């Protein structure tokens, strides 16, 4: 084939560089960057690849294969997204194929399905075929090609590859790979008035035809009523309004009065009532709003540092209105899906159906439709978790990063391990858009950059409506060590405050940062604990399922009756999770309406929204949950928050420990007393002297920042350096240990004391892979960060080029949190 043009494409594979294909003559004028094409990669596999660049440079090191076909009439994303993907891959040390896998909705990625074809040159001798082979050959002669699933049905077997392999060997059939798209339009049966019955006289004739069919007449009247608003009506709506079956409506079609069609339906359409375009700013909010606009004249990004319940969301709304008037799109990012339920209802009151929502709970078809609406500019506002950053915005004007400090903005697995806050700043820069970051407890890096003048800084120092900050108290739990109370983790002070709140018809939030019933089961005789066979962790007991769960690999186990080591029957639960807290409270506070909010209870798509709505409407008295109950939620009637085990936040070995603890404790306190009189927060701990409490009790972020930033500078941690965590994984502990030692030696020659490790993490084995970790601190004065990452990648390649370590997985995590 004579090729004049070539295309670099992104394959959905972790390839170090993009692959180049030839552009056939029939595609030369049609191929545009951002379109998907079908290509062959490897011997037989076909993939839907994304065109990144079209050029005339022929590769010299390999034979070019032609693009097989064009899959899109127009690009599925804009050129800016391709630039963004390239930056993410470069900065976070991954590949563009890995970015593509995360960015594109599943149904925009085509699947490669094996097809079995009849060999047109085959001279089939039925006597040489087995019974199974004969059945498949007979089917191929009729249908010419079959899928693997169809062969399984013909033979009534799951394992059919041996049969197919023998038929290929006998030259009866061939294999091909067919790309199959999986996105399907949602279609519904709709009915409309037949043209023969459009006039008044014809309408009268229709009723004459229906005189002896009362149900059909009733259905026709229902259709007329519904059709006053739409040209076509869903058949099921006619059935529902008339109280008839589908056969009755079909009879109207048979008589020629109505006509029936299939129509593509928007899965995301919804009606919003009571759209309100205005609200009242207080003077401090008005001042903050004006200061942000002034800062936007000088800087791309602004940090809005506002205490909890200071009305930051109202400032965001006013800013969004400003950019919508300019015809721009707005991206509103939240760290948790749980927050979208409450925020979206507020935004819909102001912006109606201009808002699109995007997060992991949507099904694959819905994600494709959201993708297309954002690309076309139909959605002016998108509200979502970090994955919404990957949507193909057409003309982005403003990014709102609510709770910018939250660790949930960081993607951990799989690659790309990007931080949505930092990526959003770059993405906005590509559009020339503005970014406002909001938090009551900003991250150390963001606040440092604001003080250094990189970002604008605007403050809201008082709560909306003059409400007081909640009163906070540290409760010493050492008094409970030898208690025989039924709920040993509930201090007398907290129990008394709960009773008082309930008697005052107020609501309570209890925070426990571990789900399940009991984080571990222990033998009281020898100390044995059941552990996961795949991971080096103890198993968590979940009472609802009566199973032991591994929270790392997801494996479940039966609950043991006897000790696995000494055979003793004396097994007991150690510590407590949210499930046990809920169970105990239901017994202890009988008559109270108590619910739990954690990963186990909100798995379904709308479970977050239903639970939060019920709590807002005071259908729940007490809500027990993990971190998702304390992040940015706003409830009118909560006047008490209890943190049951603060020590679990203070015992993790990480340089961000104090920062994370301060943020969580401050955010928890912010859920209390947001309306009317101030609320109360009780922090239960064994370590009442911890330094963080001094600042939390005073709501003193600036004081905490000043103390913590000195520690960071002294020990050379962010924001004074960038950190890259490197994890090595292998199924043999001796191999991964040796590989880590060799890699650390090669890196230490360059980084010296700025390389920490290698060492095993707290959980040293996950899913049967042993793990070793090290951390590189890259001082900002060290030079070009890109060159440093290339050097680190070169050391990875050098190590994996050695046969013994070729199967060692090396995972870099840039700006780890």
Q: How many CB atoms lie within 10 A of CB 473?
A: 14
Q: Please list the helix, strand and coil fractions of the chain in percent, rounded to the nearest 5, in that order.
A: 40, 25, 40
Kindly state the tokens that stand for 776. Answer: 């590189």
Beta strand 145-147 pairing with 329-333: unpaired
pLDDT, average across residues 312-333: 94
With a cut of 70, say whether residue 277 has pLDDT above it.
no
Q: pLDDT class for 436, splitting at 50, 70, 90?
A: very high
Q: pLDDT class for 274, splitting at 50, 70, 90?
A: very low
Rounded to an integer, what distance in angstroms lies between the CA atom of residue 387 and that of residue 393?
Answer: 13
pLDDT at 427: 97
Q: Which CATH class is domain 5-111?
A: alpha beta
Contact 644, 683 (CB under 8 A): no
pLDDT, average across residues 520-541: 92
Residue 794's Cβ-count burial label (10 Å; 0-12, 13-18, 19+) is: exposed
Q: pLDDT class for 266, splitting at 50, 70, 90?
A: low
- What is the rounded average pLDDT for all residues in the chain? 88
The correct answer on CATH 3.30.70.600 for the domain covering 721-814 is yes
Rounded to an integer, what distance in angstroms lies between the CA atom of residue 92 and that of residue 82?
Answer: 15
pLDDT, average across residues 327-342: 83
pLDDT at 49: 94
pLDDT, average across residues 544-567: 91
pLDDT, average across residues 640-646: 89
With a cut of 70, say whether residue 774 has pLDDT above it.
yes
Rounded to an integer, what distance in angstroms lies between the CA atom of residue 164 and that of residue 166?
Answer: 5
pLDDT at 782: 64
With a cut of 50, say whether residue 242 has pLDDT above it.
yes
pLDDT at 189: 86
Share above pLDDT 70 across residues of the chain, in percent, rounded to a whole number: 94
CATH topology agreement for domains 5-111 and 471-514+585-711: no
Q: pLDDT class for 711, splitting at 50, 70, 90?
A: very high
pLDDT at 273: 47
Domain ranges of the chain: 5-111, 117-173, 186-265, 283-464, 471-514+585-711, 518-575, 721-814
Fold of the domain built from segment(s) 471-514+585-711: Rossmann fold (3.40.50)
With a cut of 70, say whether residue 2 has pLDDT above it.
no
With a cut of 70, say whether residue 744 has pLDDT above it.
yes
Of 76-80, 259-263, 432-436, 437-441, the poorest mean pLDDT is in: 259-263
Query: DSSP secondary structure string, 228-294?
Result: TT-SSEEHHHHHHHHT--HHHHHHHHHTTSEEEEEEEE-TT-----------PPPHHHHHHHHHHHH
With a cut of 90, say whether residue 114 has pLDDT above it.
no
- Who wins on pLDDT, 58 or 670? 58
pLDDT at 144: 84
pLDDT at 477: 87
pLDDT at 500: 92
With a cut of 60, say whether residue 739 has pLDDT above it.
yes
pLDDT at 783: 67
Residue 706's Cβ-count burial label (10 Å; 0-12, 13-18, 19+) is: exposed
Q: CATH number of the domain at 283-464, out of 3.10.450.50, 3.30.450.20, 3.40.50.300, 3.40.50.10540? A: 3.40.50.300
Residue carrying the six token digits 């920042």: 705
pLDDT, average across residues 246-269: 83
- Return the half-sphere exposure (C-beta side, CA atoms, 13 A cut-off) of residue 220: 25
pLDDT, average across residues 514-523: 84
With a cut of 90, say whether residue 200 has pLDDT above it.
no
pLDDT, average across residues 160-177: 84
With a cut of 80, say whether residue 320 has pLDDT above it.
yes
Contact 319, 291 (CB under 8 A): no
Rounded to an integer, what distance in angstroms lies between the CA atom of residue 743 and that of residue 539?
Answer: 33
pLDDT, average across residues 153-157: 87
pLDDT at 777: 94
Look at residues 434, 433, 431, 444 and name the one whose alpha carbon lies nearest to residue 404: 444
Q: What is the pTM of this model?
A: 0.83
pLDDT at 120: 83
């Amino acid at each position: 084939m004579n090729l004049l043009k070539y295309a670099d494409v992104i394959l959905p594979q972790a390839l170090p560089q993009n692959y180049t294909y030839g552009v056939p003559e029939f595609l030369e004028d049609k191929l545009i960057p951002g379109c998907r094409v079908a290509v062959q990669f490897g011997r037989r596999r076909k993939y839907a690849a994304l065109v990144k660049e079209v050029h005339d440079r022929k590769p010299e090191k390999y034979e070019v294969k032609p693009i097989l076909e064009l899959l899109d009439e127009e690009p599925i994303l804009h050129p800016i997204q391709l630039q963004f993907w390239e930056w993410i891959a470069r900065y976070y040390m991954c590949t563009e194929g890995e970015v593509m896998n995360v960015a594109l909705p599943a149904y925009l990625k085509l699947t490669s399905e094996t097809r079995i074809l009849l060999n047109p040159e085959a001279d089939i001798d039925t006597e040489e075929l087995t019974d199974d082979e004969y059945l498949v050959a007979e089917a191929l002669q009729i249908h010419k090609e079959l899928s693997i699933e169809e062969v399984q049905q013909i033979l009534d077997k799951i394992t059919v590859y041996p049969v197919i392999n023998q038929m290929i060997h006998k030259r009866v059939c061939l294999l091909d790979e067919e790309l199959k798209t999986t996105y399907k339009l949602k279609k519904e049966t709709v009915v409309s008035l037949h043209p023969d019955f459009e006039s008044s006289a014809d309408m009268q004739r229709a009723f004459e035809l229906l005189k002896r069919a009362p149900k059909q007449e009733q259905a026709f009247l229902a259709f007329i009523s519904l059709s006053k608003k739409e040209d076509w009506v869903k058949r099921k709506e006619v059935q529902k309004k008339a109280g008839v079956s589908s056969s009755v409506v079909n009879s109207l079609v048979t008589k020629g009065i109505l006509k029936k069609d299939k129509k593509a339906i928007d899965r995301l359409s919804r009606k919003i009532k009571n759209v309100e375009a205005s609200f009242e700013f207080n003077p401090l909010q008005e001042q903050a709003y004006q200061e942000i606009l002034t800062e936007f004249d000088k800087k791309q990004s602004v940090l809005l540092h506002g205490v909890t319940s200071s009305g930051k969301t109202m400032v965001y709304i006013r800013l969004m209105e400003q950019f919508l008037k300019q015809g721009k799109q707005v991206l509103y990012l939240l760290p948790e899906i749980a927050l979208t339920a409450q925020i979206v209802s507020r935004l819909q009151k102001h912006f109606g159906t201009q808002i699109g929502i995007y997060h992991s709970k949507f099904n694959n078809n819905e994600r494709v439709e959201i993708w297309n609406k954002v690309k076309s500019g139909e959605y002016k506002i998108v509200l979502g978790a970090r994955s919404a950053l990957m949507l193909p915005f057409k003309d982005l004007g403003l990014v709102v990063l609510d709770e910018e400090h939250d660790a949930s903005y960081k993607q951990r697995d799989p690659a790309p391990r990007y931080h949505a806050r930092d990526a959003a700043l770059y993405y906005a820069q590509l559009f020339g858009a503005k970014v406002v970051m909001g938090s009551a407890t900003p991250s150390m890096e963001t606040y440092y950059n604001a003080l250094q003048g990189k970002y604008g800084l605007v403050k809201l120092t008082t709560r909306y409506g003059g409400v007081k900050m909640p009163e906070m108290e540290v409760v010493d739990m050492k008094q409970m060590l030898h208690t025989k109370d039924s709920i040993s983790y509930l201090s007398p002070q907290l129990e008394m405050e709960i009773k008082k709140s309930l008697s005052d018809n107020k609501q309570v939030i209890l925070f426990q940062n571990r789900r399940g019933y009991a984080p571990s089961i222990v033998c009281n005789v020898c100390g044995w604990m059941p552990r996961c066979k795949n991971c080096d962790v103890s198993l968590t007991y979940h009472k609802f399922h009566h199973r032991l769960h591994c929270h790392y690999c997801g494996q479940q186990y039966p609950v043991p009756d006897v000790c696995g080591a000494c055979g003793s029957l004396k097994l007991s639960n150690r510590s407590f999770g949210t499930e046990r807290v809920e169970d105990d409270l239901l017994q202890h506070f009988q008559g109270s309406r108590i619910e739990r909010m954690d990963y186990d209870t909100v798995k379904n798509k709308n479970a977050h929204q239903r639970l939060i709505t019920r709590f807002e409407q005071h259908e729940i008295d007490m809500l027990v949950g993990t971190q998702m109950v304390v992040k940015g939620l706003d409830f009118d009637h909560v006047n008490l928050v209890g943190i049951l085990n603060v020590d679990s936040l203070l015992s993790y070995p990480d340089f961000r420990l104090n920062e994370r603890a301060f943020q969580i404790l401050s955010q928890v306190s912010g859920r209390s007393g947001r309306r009317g009189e101030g609320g109360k927060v009780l922090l239960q701990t064994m370590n009442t002297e911890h330094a963080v409490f001094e600042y939390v009790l005073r709501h003193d972020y600036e004081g905490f920042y000043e103390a913590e930033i000195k520690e960071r500078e002294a020990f050379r941690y962010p924001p004074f350096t960038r950190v890259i965590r490197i994890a090595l994984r292998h199924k043999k502990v001796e191999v991964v240990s040796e590989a880590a030692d060799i890699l650390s030696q090669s890196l230490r020659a360059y980084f010296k004391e700025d390389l920490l490790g290698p060492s095993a993490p707290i959980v040293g084995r996950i899913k049967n892979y042993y793990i070793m970790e090290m951390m590189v601190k890259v001082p900002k004065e060290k030079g070009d960060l890109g060159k440093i990452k290339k050097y680190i990648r070169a050391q990875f390649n050098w190590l994996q080029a050695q046969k013994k370590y070729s199967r060692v997985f090396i995972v870099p995590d840039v700006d780890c949190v």
